Structure 1
Amino acid sequence: MEVFQTSAALKKYLFQQRCSGKIIGFVPTMGALHEGHLSLLEAAQRTTDCTVCSIFVNPTQFNNSTDLAKYPRTLEADRALLEAAGCDVLFCPDEQEIYPDQGLLRLDFGPLEQRMEGAYRPGHFHGVGLVVAKLLHKVSPDKAFFGQKDLQQFRIVAQLVRDLSFDVQLEMVPIQREAHGLAMSSRNRRLTPEQRHEAGQLYATLQRAAARVFELPLPQLHRMVEEQLSASPSIRLEYFEVVDAHTLEPVQDVHQAEALALCLAAYVGEVRLIDNVLMEEK
């Protein structure tokens, strides 16, 4: 596995790969890697010839300095994991490489960022869009792979790619889950064993809601979710939304949407987790 810390060295290497006819696949991450990240790498390996994984804890997408400070950083373990999984290239820049000076650009994704994560984490998607744009510029991949768990992020990145005419194909990879249903996340390692088990209720509740979404009025469905999660002492629900899976707009009539997304965010102890379920209209 080739490892690069500077954009110049990375670009030189990838230029050589393209000249030899290789298709470049890209998996951007913030490290603390797990099986969910490896599923993105595996998806890239199936359809591209040279897989690039980046590890960069992006400060501009954190609106909570404590959250940024506590985000796990495990570069050496991540490097070993990627090498064992057959990753071709690791790009691990420092902050100066990505943000050499104080930029003035401000990204606004309109209605896409005004609900769910955007409403509770102001400025988050500006930071996401900014770093993804920089990374796409530096890597220039043919395909880029993102996880379904961050559904709103994927829609934001898709809008970014359209608006800025990036020549890249985006792929969304299904959520990987732990044995009791908890969506895999780097934040999970901050949970105690008891909290980790209890956090499985997030997915279990989403499954129950998905089973009833075409039967119950939406206010009643919301109450059901709130009541089920309030029964778990460590869980504090932040939001539950039923939205159009493509536009992320709130759904008034579930039977009118071609596809639904049931999305939630909740605190388990002090750790904030998100999850979602995608489903077609019956």
Structure 2
Amino acid sequence: MRLMRIGDWGQEVPVLMTADGQAYDLRPVTRDIDGSFLESWAHRLDSLNLQGLEPYDIGTRRIGAPIARPTAVVGIGLNYAAHAAESGDPVPERPVVFFKHPNTVIGPHDDVVIPPGAEKVDWEVELGVVIGRRASYLRSAEDAEACIAGYVLTNDVSERDYQHHAGTQWTLGKSCATFNPVGPWLVPASVLEDPAGIRLRSWVNGEPRQDSWTSDMVFGAADLVYRLSQYMVLEPGDLINTGTPQGVALSGRFPYLQAGDSLTLSGGDVLGRQELKLVGNG
């Protein structure tokens, strides 16, 4: 079972796709796949009466991000030991946390826009965690699991020079427009109980870049939600980018992205695939 948002920008239709590939229009249930819907339905989608829903033909329509604009996008840095090594940093003892502007979230096949004058735009395939219940001062990672609505494929696009324009705070290099493609779908936590066995891969112009597994994360999904809840209140619909594996341009082994490049990300059959084009600004 998967949740999707289909249609032109700002006019996306919430859609439920069943295991047999049939899509249903969720508008009789909710206006959008937002925090309110996720809080109410993410853990009991099996109880939806599909007989009261109309089939929906996705066809060739645009696929939007599977969650409406979150109130917060929280990023985790250096959460794979090999990526920390290629970045020249030690494996962190505590999660490295930064924020992205929520309006960076776009669909999985929308264009990624290179900012004017940017020369170090990088890709980062990641597991995304979507919050389904308010998380504040949780007592354990087990409690955190109940606060997770589901999981998505996400791309923490970064401009590496901008990333250090404010010293050690990375937000400036993470928040440019279009810098967070998400989707194509959200897998509910009730369906994907263990997100630790997902293969994450990326390609630039068809050439392989990243290839790793979420089991290699330093801090797992539920552990991150638990730890973050000690410092901030996570609301339903919020997105956590849980960090990227090795194989990015920052390593020095590959060139940075340029206008005209194609970027492919994969989370296998579980999280789906992104096909993106890099375009210039103006």
Greater helix share, structure number:
1
Q: Specify which structure has the bigger relative contact order, considering alpha-carbon pairs within 8 angstroms and separated by 6 or more residues.
A: 2
TM-score w.r.t. structure 1 length?
Answer: 0.26
Greater strand share, structure number:
2
The higher radius of gyration belongs to 1
TM-score w.r.t. structure 2 length?
Answer: 0.26
